[in-house]
Structure 1
Amino acid sequence: MNKLDMRAVAASATASAALLEHALEQGGHPPEKTERILFHLSRYLRAAGIARLLTEVDRDAFRLCLQHSAEARRQLLQWAIGARRPFNRFTATGHHGPLCDALAVGADELARDIVRLSSDTPVKAYEHEEDFLYARLLGLLALDADAAPGRAEPLLDALEHVLEGQEAPRLAMGRALVARKQDAFDAALDDLLTEHASRHDAMARIMSAEDECSLTERYVSVEGLALLRLAQRRGLAVQTEYIFLPSLARAPW
């Protein structure tokens, strides 16, 4: 995608986020619509942040957008709990994007809030168990709670079972971070970034030009940025530059 196209994506995502924020301020929506607004607000804020990073090299705007995305997720979960809403397709734990947003920009307390407000059981029919288990593992690492005996291993074992024994990159990454093993982390990250490229190249052939979220996440992996942050917090070394993980986008350590 050329620079002019990405500028259009930045403008479109920003406008979409503004419309959702205005709708939220108006209030009076049915519960599911309020949840839908906050869910998509987070996605458009992330897209706007990435697009501005790519076109304007604006690190501050990128970080602010990702922080606001995570705040929208926290607001969604707080609202849903306050309204006694059951966890559903919008509030399912497997939607780990906003958690990664918070971790990627170094908003650790915000990340912890999201984890504490999230469900500890998957939402049937709306959530893949693999996504749920991976998000729970990220949450455990965000809380630095994996050191407690019996916390991380059951999640890793369950994820391995769901994957039917396949050594998927996310499983390998989880094991590497829990064990704090440098070589395993380096290999898992390389595999994750390769998978990221393949997945988004395939998506690019079928998605529409209006899909701002997919268009931007093809070029910057916020999940990868979050994993770098977790790795650093756990004493692992990270390189200055990786494909899809520009140093400009990384939170200061």
Structure 2
Amino acid sequence: MIRRVKYSEIDFVKYTECIETSVQRNWYTQKDILDQLSGNWHILVYGNYEAVMPVHMYRKLGINFVHMPLFCQQFGVFSKTDNPQINDQFLYFLKKNYAVFFYLFNQDNNFSVELEKRKNYVISTCDYTVLKKKYFKGRKSAVKSSQHLVYKEIELDDQSLLFFKNNFKGLEKQSDWDKLKAYLSFLSKTKSLQLCGAFFNDSLINLAVLIVDKHQLLLLSLINDENYKAENGASFLIDRILNLYIHEKSFNFMGSNIRGIEIFFKSFGAELREYYFLENKFLKRFS
């Protein structure tokens, strides 16, 4: 049976154990991360924490909606074995008891009913020389033409934040930019942030923002100065990161349903990992 557990009543020892030993384990469901990005979350629980599902609440027009926190890609059900029948119970409970604005399950959740899907791309840990043979022909050419650039791992400081603000797209609200800065600061303090830059004539022209997890690197953002698009800095950066780290950590591109970005991810030999989601399209039109 599924039950709702308020934040103040969560057994975080059992919750953390369930998350850490689950086959679906991901970055976003850790308590500290949810506290940072949500601030208003609770969980649904099956049995004695045999399976758990984090839920973020968002208040709009005086109504509480289930939503995804900014910068979170996947939530869903977490358990030692993914069980579609148990997942169905979570899904039914969610739809019956909440106004769902937007909720993303994870790539390892399966259901007996068909849901809409989103796309993600992942490169598993492997030998870089083997991986490079899987690059698309055009990507190999772009990487080859960008070898005049210089790769540096840099700190989060006023200069890198200025590059963020001048070139980051998609954060129209000042409050969203403030949340991003706070999140970056949090990641930096917890030693979970890695900033990888491509430099041209000593100028930063591309920046890969990575979240460093135990077994994977997650691409939070790839920021480009459009004035230097011809230098192929984005291809240079991803290739260099894979060269340095893919033998020890998998690489999660964090998904995109924009065709051009999707092809860019695939061109590095990444594999498709689809995940299900719920969305109220009527509410979205008025958000």
- TM-score higher than 0.5 here? no
Structure with more relative contact order (C-alpha pairs < 8 Å, separation 6 or more):
2
From the two aligned structures, give the one with the greater helix fraction.
Answer: 1
Determine which structure has more spread, i.e. the larger CA radius of gyration: 2
Higher relative strand content: 2
With the length of structure 2 as denominator, give the TM-score of the two structures: 0.29
